[in-house]
A and B are shown apart, each in its own frame.
Chain A
Amino acid sequence: AQSVTQPDIHITVSEGASLELRCNYSYGATPYLFWYVQSPGQGLQLLLKYFSGDTLVQGIKGFEAEFKRSQSSFNLRKPSVHWSDAAEYFCAVGGYGGSQGNLIFGKGTKLSVKP
């Protein structure tokens, strides 16, 4: 069965520091990959997506993610974190064979930003 693993439940970084959030997926082929962000009490906002092609994808708010097929990973990065980036981040897989594109989410990584 398809699954998504986000090994870090909670990460704290200092403002201005770089960030990498890890995501691994389990699937027999290359699925569609997504990162969503959820601020407290808010819905899910799409940060970026990977469908095919260039394995380094750029998203909103200065985020990027790199797809590595050999590692079944799709890690999210940002070179310099801002206090407003504090939120929960979800990696998701979708578009696998036979589905109507419903997403499977990881458990999320909560990001705290120190001043």
Chain B
Amino acid sequence: EPEVTQTPSHQVTQMGQEVILRCVPISNHLYFYWYRQILGQKVEFLVSFYNNEISEKSEIFDDQFSVERPDGSNFTLKIRSTKLEDSAMYFCASRADSYEQYFGPGTRLTVT
């Protein structure tokens, strides 16, 4: 069964450093998402991406964040200058035309 994959599973970085989180969505999916879950809190929407551009973003997704689909398979989330409060689990999700989204296993980002 096809699945969304994410790398790395855990990333530790120092405050102010740039990080790139990578995702490989399910191959025939057209819509891509990033969500985050701060420890003990609910899952929050960050950004959606369709047809090679951002289609919607939340207030969390400020200028420090960017997304890219550099080739036909990868979907990346970049945080330019990490802050302590960026520590969270980041989930990638994708979907086809149906609204049901399939989530990856997540990347745990720890900013020290």
Give A residues with C-beta under 8 Å from B. 32, 34, 36, 42-46, 49, 51, 90, 92, 94-95, 99-108
B43 & A105 in contact (Cβ 8 Å cutoff): yes
Chain B nearest CB, measured from A29 CB (Å):
14
* B residues in contact with A34, CB < 8 Å: 100
A32 & B44 in contact (Cβ 8 Å cutoff): no
Whether a CB of chain A sits under 8 angstroms from the CB of B75 is: no
* B residues in contact with A101, CB < 8 Å: 31, 48, 95, 99, 101
Q: In the complex, A103 Cα to B42 Cα: how many Å?
A: 12
Q: In the complex, A71 Cα to B48 Cα: how many Å?
A: 30
Give B residues with C-beta under 8 Å from A. 4, 31, 33, 35, 41-45, 48, 50, 55-56, 58, 91, 93, 95, 99-106
B42 & A106 in contact (Cβ 8 Å cutoff): yes
Chain B contact residues: helix, strand, loop or mixed: strand
* B residues in contact with A36, CB < 8 Å: 103
* B residues in contact with A95, CB < 8 Å: 99
Q: In the complex, A44 Cα to B58 Cα: how many Å?
A: 20
Of B41, B45, B48, B105, the residue contacting A43 (CB under 8 A) is B105
B41 & A107 in contact (Cβ 8 Å cutoff): yes
* A residues in contact with B99, CB < 8 Å: 32, 49, 51, 94-95, 101
A103 & B102 in contact (Cβ 8 Å cutoff): no
Q: List 25 A-B contacts (CB under 8 A).
A: A34-B100, A36-B103, A44-B43, A44-B91, A44-B103, A45-B103, A46-B101, A46-B102, A49-B99, A51-B99, A90-B42, A90-B43, A92-B43, A95-B99, A100-B48, A101-B48, A101-B95, A102-B33, A102-B45, A103-B33, A103-B43, A105-B42, A105-B43, A107-B41, A108-B42
